[in-house]
Structure 1
Amino acid sequence: MQESRGVRTVLERNFGYAWAAGITMAVATVVLAAVAELPIRDPDNFVPGYIRFPAIVFGAIALDVVPRLIWRLTHGSHGVGNTLRDIMRERWTRAHWLFALGGIGAWYLTYAAFRNLKSFVPFVNSHNWDGEFRHIDQVLWFGHDPAQVLHNLFGTGWAAHFFSGVYFVWIGLVPISIAIALVWTRSRTASSWYVTAVAFDWMLGSLVYLLFPSMGPIYTEAQRGQFSDLPHTYNTDLANSLWDDRVSVVGDVFGSGTLQTIAAFPSLHTGIMVTICVFAQYVGLARWIRVASWIFLGLTIVATLYLGWHYFVDVLGGIALGSFTVWLAALATGNHVGLRPKLKREETEITDSAAASTAPSAS
């Protein structure tokens, strides 16, 4: 019984269930690739993910260490080398290095498998649900199209540039949030909870993509025309690039040399932002972070509808997914009381916090 609890604790605190999600997805990727005769590719052609994600984390480490180094050198410390070694011993113990690298590994495995599974969708399930989702949207919006309503409300000028910027910011938000969880956060339970929740977003999102394939309003003939009045933005280039990739992959899956990444239901832009917002509430992050997260969630939802990436039903699916994964990850990482999510504060963390608050060099 004691041994069972010990194994469970190790899994809870060291991304065990995030690794399990990644391994499950990797196995599914290999099986589907073999059955459907599809290639498995690195998801990032320009800057490989195995370089990009560690670079983000090591950049975050620099932001964690350099300000402390400067502060101490300007407040009495002498010698850059000795001061730097002291900071690294305090902030970056061997255990924390292993913890951070374990999180990076679990994150990258789930991400790489997710991108490949998403690319497999047109080959694994040929049915397209765009017509059904558009009909559901019209029922929910009383016969109106959500994107057209938003175009009428905000216009098709400055709003297109603004919402394109929101969409662009989101792309960098997720890896940066992972870096923050692994670098600055010293609560292993909180970090493991968040990274595991995002891994579950990827895992369940890819499953739903395979079950309910759709492309989104901007890529369907019935609705594509209503986005032609939008000015040229970053979003225009991205949408055209993704469509070119899809045409290339569907036309010659081996010769294309890339992945197709068009899949609309559920909206993972919405889902992962909901995960961030709900997680921030549960762990009690600073009020300004929680408020900013909810505001950005609202902007993200409007942007995905306005720009035509998603149907409203995709947004609802994303909200359900993002909320569910926070709860599921709470159970998987031990952050719960019964079935209610609650951040678990460990004795080691309390001791570390007390020590840090009394140490002369902790500031």
Structure 2
Amino acid sequence: MTSTVVESPERVSRGYFGPAARLWALVLTFVAVGIARSAVVGVPFRDPRGEYFRGRLALTVGVFVLFVVADGVIRARRRSDLRSVLASIRRRWDARRLAAAAVALLAYDVTYHNLKSWDAFNKPRDAMLESWDRWIFGGHSPAVLLHHLLGVGSSAHAIMLWYSSFALLAILAFPAAVALARRTRDAYVGIASLCWVWILGTGTYYLIPSLGPFHEAPQDFASLPTMTAQRTQRTYLAERAQLLAHPGTHDAFAQVSAFASLHVGVTATIIGLAWWHRLRRTVIALSVYLVGTMIATVYLGWHFFVDLPAGLVIAGLAWILGPLTIGVRTRPTAKPGLL
């Protein structure tokens, strides 16, 4: 059961303009970098089939509404009639707070994808990352070692499902960061940290351009059964080749980059979000999930081993920079909604 105490409209109004301005200063700076890069490569911003902005925005709104309704049901204190639930939602979500939430969620959704696509114009350095991995593991491929240890039968399909579940986690996490935060500023801290991990991750793509072990050493993954992972990898390589061959095509867009692992970076940043809100059991559960994700990314050939600690580093930096960006120094003293 949660307390019905929430921020007053006055506090939301006073406290949201500064954090919103700081968040959008970060996002617009990143957009400016994207505009500059667009001019260099001669490719305009794109949203193929509406997947990276319109589709994400619609999904964000839907998930946010679900969290708001679920939180309203809990705050109604077991009075499940519609009037009580709507009254609970109205008390928490007046126009000011909804505006603050919209500003935060929109900032997250405009961050990231085109700059990653244009990393395709840089020369990959997969051979260097592959050599680092083999040096660390005494001349062996860490992926092959995992195949021997875990097997390549039904375990491969289970690992594939684990890896694929990341998409659901990412879809749920950042609307939850806004919908369930007690203080508006904590919602902004969470979104700023999530923006930072994408920004830093994109920076590492340019620092060490790479495609991944599945491309550099395909023989290491020949024993795996045919799964969605291989089909997706082939699709990503074909998209990249299309962009390089015909950059002027309206739907030419690349999605594949390895260093650093944003599966690891984003998951670790979400763990930081749970830590910020003092959700100890959630931190433990997500930490177990993170270990499984790290295994899966190497096992399936998406990432080199060295991509994993790099992902942890950018997550740590994101949680240093997020609160600094918003200007918040202390964590909330109470847990967020729905808990």
TM-score, structure 2 normalization: 0.86
- The residue type paired with residue 263 of structure 1 is S
Query: Residues 165-195 of structure 1, C-alpha deviation per residue, up to 9 Å, x if partnerless?
Result: 1221112211310111111222223221111
Q: 1:303 to 1:12 in 2, by over 3 A?
A: farther
Mapped partners of 2:73, 2:253: distance in 1: 43
Asked if structure 2 preserves the Cα contact closer than 8 Å seen for 1:18 and 1:107, the reply is no
In the other structure, the counterpart of 1:26 is 31
1:235/1:50 Cα in 2 relative to 1: closer, same or farther (>3 Å)? same
SS of alignment partner, residue 306 of structure 2: helix
Q: Which residue of 2 aligns with 1:116?
A: 114
Letter aligned with residue 237 of structure 2:
W
1:133 CA displacement: 0.9
Q: CA deviation at 1:55?
A: 3.3
User: Which runs of structure 2 are paired with 1:233-312 in the superposition (5 Å)?
Assistant: 233-255=227-249, 257-285=251-279, 287-312=280-305
What does residue 314 of structure 1 align with? 307
Equivalent in the alignment of 1:101: 102
Asked if structure 1 preserves the Cα contact closer than 8 Å seen for 2:46 and 2:250, the reply is no
Distance 2:39 2:130 in 1: 34
Deviations 1:109-131, CA, capped at 9 Å, x for gaps: 11xxx2111111122x33x2211
Offset at residue 68 of structure 1 (A): 4.6
Structure 1 segments (4+ residues) deviating >4 Å: 8-12, 66-77, 82-85
2:194 alignment partner, one of 193, 198, 203: 198
The separation in 2 between residues aligned to 1:154 and 1:213, in whole angstroms, is 29
Question: 1:13 aligned to 19, 22, 26, which one?
Answer: 19
How far apart, in 1, do the equivalents of 2:247 and 2:196 lie? 28
Task: Give CA deviations for 1:273-306 in whole Å, capped at 9, x if unaligned.
Answer: 1112233224311x33111110110011001100
Is residue 157 of structure 2 the alignment partner of residue 151 of structure 1? no
* 1:46-72 C-alpha deviation (Å, 9 max, x unpaired): 645334334333343235326856996
Counterpart of 2:174 in structure 1 is 178
Give the superposed CA RMSD.
Answer: 2.9
Greater Cα shift, 54-63 or 150-159: 54-63
Q: For 2:214 and 2:205, locate their aligned partners in 1 and report how far apart those are by CA, in whole Å.
A: 17
Deviation at 1:199, TM superposition (A): 0.5
* Alignment equivalent of 1:65, drawn from 69, 80, 88: 69
Amino acid at match of 2:159: F
Partner Cα separation in structure 2 for residue 97 and residue 155 of structure 1: 49
Q: 1:86 to 1:120 in 2, by over 3 A?
A: same
Residues 319 and 12 of structure 1, relative CA distance in 2, 3 Å threshold:
farther
Q: Secondary structure at the match of 2:44?
A: coil
CA separation in 1, counterparts of 2:80 and 2:255?
53
Deviation at 1:151, TM superposition (A): 0.6
Q: Hey, what's the Cα distance between the residues in 1 that align with 2:104 and 2:314?
A: 22
Deviation of residue 107 (structure 1)?
A: 0.4
CA distance in 2, matches of 1:90, 1:120: 45
Give, in whole Å, the separation in 1 of the partners of 2:157 and 2:229: 8
Tell me if structure 1 keeps the 8 A contact 2:53–2:110.
no
Partners in 1 of 2:316 and 2:165 — Cα distance? 22
How much identity, in percent, do the aligned residues show? 25
Find the counterpart in structure 1 of residue 41 from structure 2. 36
Cα-to-partner distance string for 1:333-361 (whole Å, 9 max, x where unaligned): 2333xxxxx4156xxx99xx9xx9xxxxx
1:322-361 equivalent positions in 2, closer than 5 A: 322-336=315-329, 342-343=330-331
TM-score (norm 1): 0.81
Change over 3 Å in CA distance of 1:199–1:140 after alignment to 2:
same
Write the letter of the residue equivalent to 1:105: L
Closer/same/farther in 2, CA of residues 292 and 69 from structure 1, 3 Å limit: closer
1:312-338, CA deviations, whole angstroms, 9 ceiling, x for partnerless residues? 1111111111111111112222333xx
Distance 1:90 1:9 in 2: 18
2:265 touches 2:314 (CA, 8 Å); kept in 1? yes
Deviations 1:253-280 (A, max 9, x none): 1226131011111111111111122332
Unaligned ranges ≥5, structure 2: 1-13
Letter in 2 for 1:172: L
Q: RCO (CA 8 Å, sep 6+): is it higher in 1 or 2?
A: 2
Structure 1: runs of 5+ lacking an equivalent: 1-7, 337-341, 357-361
Is the 8 Å Cα contact of residues 121 and 213 (structure 1) preserved in structure 2?
yes
Q: Which moved more, 1:276-285 or 1:94-103?
A: 276-285
Distance between the aligned counterparts of 1:172 and 1:149, measured in 2?
A: 28
